[in-house]
Structures are given as structure tokens and as C-alpha cells.
Amino acid sequence: MRASRLALAAIIAAAAAASYAAPPNVKNIVIDCEPGWRGTAVGQYGGVGFEVSCNNGRGHERLTGWSGTAYSFRMGVEGAVGADCVYADDAPTVDVTCVAVRLTVR
């Protein structure tokens, strides 16, 4: 009887520890605009769509449920000039800059 209680306690403790672990397929998308700039990025990462924007600062989105590392997105920026940048690749992380607006996926 005592052994079964200890086994049950060990199972409960292991399940509780597993529930606190971060999901393996979560990415954070961050777009960072320099002062006087605004930008928007729309596209997909790992088959999941996203849209994130910033205006004189930072914007972010949490991406869940992605599969694979292929990405493609378009980023439009405005400030002293306007620009339209397109990116497509296959990588576990992304770090790109369109004029004065930076986008990262980690």
C-alpha cells in the first residue's frame, strides 16, 4: 500500500513538472521601429499566418502551432522614405531589417 502511494505521488509530481514546461512550438515575433518610423509585416512562419506592426516603438506577436521553419512575409515601412521588402527562406530564426524597421522570429 505504501509503495503504491509513493508511486502515485511520483506520477503526480512528474505530471505537474511537465505542465510547467514551455511548449516546444512557440515563437515570438518582434518588430522594432526606430523613432519616426512605422512598419507592418504580414506573412507566415511554419505554415501559420501572422501580422505584426509598430509605430515609433515595438510590436510583438506569439506564434503557436507552427510546423517546420519555412517562412515568407512582406514588410512595408514608412518614415523619411517608404519601402516594401519581401523575405522568404527556411531557417529556425529570422533577423531582417527593412530600412529602419527590424523583425525577428525566435
Where are the chain's structural domains? 23-105
Arithmetic mean of pLDDT over the chain: 87
Q: Select the CATH number that applies to the domain covering 23-105 from these four: 1.25.40, 2.60.40, 3.30.450, 1.20.120.
A: 2.60.40
Phi, psi of 37 (to 5 degrees): -120, 155
Per-residue pLDDT for 12 more than 70? Answer: no
So what's the pLDDT on residue 84?
Answer: 98
**pLDDT tens figures, 51-98:** 999 999 999 999 999 999 999 999 999 999 999 999 999 999 999 999
pLDDT at 20: 54
DSSP per-residue string spanning the chain: -HHHHHHHHHHHHHHHHHHHSPPTTEEEEEEEEPTT-EEEEEEEETTEEEEEEEESSEEEEEEES--SSEEEEEEEEESSSEEEEEEEEE-SSEEEEETTEEEEE-
pLDDT at 51: 98
> What per-residue confidence (pLDDT) applies to 15?
52
